[in-house]
Structure 1
Amino acid sequence: MSWKIVLPVAALVLVPGYAAVQAAAESDTYKELDALMDVFERVRVTYVDQVDDKTLIRGAINGMLASLDPHSAYLDGRDYANLRQTTDGEYSGLGLTVTSEDGAVKVVTPTDDTPAAKAGIKAGDYITHLDDELIYGSTLNEAVDKMRGPAGSKIKLTVVRQGEPKPLEFQLTREVVVIKPVKWEARGNVGLIRISTFNSRTGDATRAAVEGLRGKLGDTVAGYVIDLRSNPGGLLDEAIKVSDVFLESGEVVSERRRAKNDVDRYFAKAGDATGGKPIVVLVDEGTASAAEIVAGALQDHRRAIVLGQRSFGKGSVQTVYPLSGDTALRLTTARYFTPSGRSVQELGIDPDITVPQLSDPRVAERKPVREADLKKHLINEIKDSTDRLVEQDSTPDPRFLAKAEELKAKGVIDYQLDYALRLVGRLGPPAAPRLQVAGA
């Protein structure tokens, strides 16, 4: 998602015949606006229950944006604050990722080195009370709002944990939680870089990860695995920075708006931080948006082998327009294209090597939702795209018949990652670039 501030239009350039066409169009528009106001007044006066004007107006705005695409939206106070916290990479709270399950708040994971992790809250725990108040049946947003608060303030969590005979109680002190978008570690002589989101820290953190691995492994580093699985994306600028870490030069991505000649191209600066070492990029159906930009750029330049499963397929850019101090408009304003001119909208990034996640015991039952499954998604305008929308043959690949239990017995907890790590050890020097991109 691209975060931009735009300025008001300063002037209009008139062409012959424009005034008449504009007048006719405005007349039709005013008729539609009159109809909108007629409905608004009728609802205000005669609806069975009294509804405040703010609710009706926001409903009209939401309906207008819902008619466009799945990613355009009106952001109220909570949504706008959450977006800013996500992109800034920090917030004040407990450090929990939670979800709603059958009306209960379930912990997905506690973030490392946060109050929740330090207290011993675990993935799979169910939060039932906050400060002794039952939250079962509350919305997820309501529960999250209660858990967040000023740094230094205290809150009591009551948790139900499988295997424990009675509920557990935790007294936590809120802190400023810094979202770490990048984690790295050495797996033998391979550098593993896990990028979980693209916030304002991701580009610098990725470069620091490469430097850290080179410092730890020195000349013995065989190559790198960049794990982008389940990465929902984020800031466009940070995707460009991350790609730049691994590219010597060339185009990273182009951004194309409504007018055909309204195009921005973004290029990598000279210098590959890895020194040309082999790279494998891991993707899956949850790899989206900014993460697909990185995967597509490295794939097009033949800088990396992309491994895993076809990505989500979100090839659009959203611009955030602040409307007031606590509201904003998130509007789809462009499509992006990989260096070779591919649009991933609907289609996603096809891996060079398709590898299912066999260590998931429910891999055969999984029915992933991608961009193409969302209502009113943008259509890919590349003429030959329809062929790629057809799912591949579902006949089991004889190479990938191992069961999760068998892999676990062999110590393989993450089959895709294990495959990528072993592949890096077998790769030679990177191939010559697949394409040349002009700098115009």
Structure 2
Amino acid sequence: MRRALIRFPAIWIPVLLIAGLNLPAHGEDAEVTNPDGAGDVKTAVDEVMHVVNMVLEHHIAPPTGQQMVVDVIRHVYQKAQLQMPPDMPQLISRRSLEQVPDFLNDTLEEVARRSSQPFQPLVRESLTDMVSNLPGGARITAVRKHTVNEQIASNRYVGTGIALRMSSTDHRPTITHVVPRGPMELAGGEKGDLIIEVNGISTKGKMLSEVVEMIRGPDGSEITFVVHQPDQPPRTLTFQRGVINFPSLSKPELLQLPGPKLIGYMKIKRISAALVHELRQAEKTLLEQDVDGIVLDFRMVHGADLHQSLLLANALLDGGEIGQVRSRSGSRGYQAEREALFAKLPIAIIVDRHTSGTAEWVAAALQDHKRALIVGAKTAGHGYGDSTFPIPDTDRMLTISTSELLRADGISLVGTGKPTNILTLVRRTPDGRRQKVLPRNGKRIPYPPGPIVPNKRIEEESTADIKTKAAEILLKEFKKTKPTAD
């Protein structure tokens, strides 16, 4: 079944073991699944053409199939340290898409004969590079990593709640992180514990991936560890794998300003199914503290799940149109319900160049409705919605941009946003066509296509300084919502 992928900020720990699933090590998605041989070329051609056809069918603005194949071949030659024939693009462009697989097969066979490098990872890495250059970016991931991402985003992640790395001295796995209130912590596990046994099987001499497999298991299943701290006697820990809760929102922080004024600050870690619930809990806490305003930090947040982003926009807006989503079948507008958390308080949202996807879409809606003051730096201008599809005959998934995110007035959130002083802009019509828009009285449109232009720019500084400046700007200028010029 085709499902939308939820992106979230990466948790960079060596191995995350939850629900018996682990985040794969860097490069694992390109691991060899077949030994080198005659079958490798056909397998590679099939996978490349599967991906090319999926992009052509689903991407919001796909290049031609021939262009994508040329890009793959170019990367293959580069990685194999071979010179690509200069007329390769012309040779492929002359062929129909139905003729391309045979040509690709002959080309890859030639590379396989001339290169000493393992062939399968060579092509897979080249395919990954090709999709990363698609409009909006794209990626190929292992199925199990995609499953991990979905579980975290929906807050139904289950397992032991530990991160591991291999000890360089003992050559056994060591716990580098214990998830607070997770099964391992509740059982007495600690950071720095060396794992000696898992379910009675020694970890001595085993690779980290083998230990990962030993730890995997379903929710509610029992597991036994024998662990010890350096120079301490071994301890036996027996417990059940269970749900691991990853907060989507930081604990509310109070910022004291002159006045005296009190501002509540919260960092959005990811847009997930649990975020609105966590905001409701934070609202109760902050209202009890009689705060004078709210600062929400959207820096480094990328959203890709439309439903979860709609829930967030609904929670923060008091009605009105959130924005539009353009797919290949047309455009659709979305209306906010009248929920309005923090309804009587001014809100500032901190954004930066890494704020992207549906996170930009939500922030733009709050800016358009003058519900929030946007501060910080221009956002990424990556106004795309993503979907993920299984690649046939593989254990991998393809995530591509299948929709374009628009403000309520039809202005796209895709682009560089550089021409902020022009008199004529382009917007999307309901059927997806581009249409010039002439501003009223010849004045510049406040919000140009592309990145969100903050109402007040804050230079890159320490997090503490940015939080304080955002709070000060909120109290001083909440009602002044015209964006700054570049």
Alignment TM class, shorter chain as reference? 0.5 to 0.7
Matched, 1:354 2:457: yes
Do 2:404 and 2:414's aligned partners in 1 also have CA atoms closer than 8 Å? no
Matched, 1:71 2:144: no
Alignment of 1:22-41 (within 5 A): 28-39=96-107
Cα distance change, pair 308–317 in 1 and its aligned pair in 2 (3 A): same
Do 1:223 and 1:277's aligned partners in 2 also have CA atoms closer than 8 Å? yes
- What is the CA distance between 1:88 and its match in structure 2? 2.3
Report the counterpart of residue 267 of structure 2 in structure 1.
Answer: 194
Matched, 1:278 2:381: no
- What is the CA distance between 1:279 and its match in structure 2? 0.4
**Partner secondary structure for residue 273 of structure 1:** coil
Report the counterpart of residue 178 of structure 1 in structure 2.
Answer: 245
**What is the CA–CA distance in structure 1 between the aligned matches of 2:336 and 2:281, rounded to whole Å?**
17
Report the counterpart of residue 383 of structure 1 in structure 2.
Answer: none
- What is the CA distance between 1:74 and its match in structure 2? 3.3
**Partner secondary structure for residue 321 of structure 1:** strand
Alignment of 1:230-269 (within 5 A): 230-258=300-328, 262-269=330-337
**Partner secondary structure for residue 182 of structure 1:** coil
Do 1:307 and 1:354's aligned partners in 2 also have CA atoms closer than 8 Å? yes
Do 1:253 and 1:336's aligned partners in 2 also have CA atoms closer than 8 Å? yes
- What is the CA distance between 1:170 and its match in structure 2? 9.9
Cα displacement string for residues 168-215 of structure 1 (whole angstroms, at most 9, x for unaligned residues): 99968553212221244362743333321112222343344334544x
- What is the CA distance between 1:93 and its match in structure 2? 3.5
Cα displacement string for residues 269-322 of structure 1 (whole angstroms, at most 9, x for unaligned residues): 134232242001122344332322222221222211122333344222111234
Could you tell which deviates more after superposition, 61-70 or 193-202? 61-70
Unaligned runs of 5+ in 2: 6-53, 58-92, 257-261, 418-450
Cα distance change, pair 328–232 in 1 and its aligned pair in 2 (3 A): same
Percentage of pairs with the same residue: 21
**What is the CA–CA distance in structure 2 between the aligned matches of 1:50 and 1:359, rounded to whole Å?**
45
**What is the CA–CA distance in structure 2 between the aligned matches of 1:77 and 1:222, rounded to whole Å?**
46
Do 1:183 and 1:209's aligned partners in 2 also have CA atoms closer than 8 Å? no
Counterpart code for 1:225: V
1:226 to 287, 293, 296: 296
Counterpart code for 1:175: G
Report the counterpart of residue 469 of structure 2 in structure 1.
Answer: 419
Matched, 1:334 2:407: no
Counterpart code for 2:317: L
Alignment of 1:3-402 (within 5 A): 3=4, 28-39=96-107, 62=128, 65-66=131-132, 68-69=134-135, 71-95=137-161, 111-115=179-183, 149-151=217-219, 152-155=222-225, 174-185=241-252, 187=254, 189-214=262-287, 216-217=288-289, 220-258=290-328, 262-322=330-390, 327-340=396-409, 341-346=411-416, 348-356=451-459, 358-359=461-462
Do 2:404 and 2:412's aligned partners in 1 also have CA atoms closer than 8 Å? no
**What is the CA–CA distance in structure 2 between the aligned matches of 1:126 and 1:422, rounded to whole Å?**
45
**What is the CA–CA distance in structure 1 between the aligned matches of 2:206 and 2:353, rounded to whole Å?**
31
**What is the CA–CA distance in structure 1 between the aligned matches of 2:101 and 2:316, rounded to whole Å?**
51
Cα distance change, pair 432–351 in 1 and its aligned pair in 2 (3 A): closer
TM, length-normalised to structure 2: 0.56
Cα distance change, pair 30–342 in 1 and its aligned pair in 2 (3 A): closer
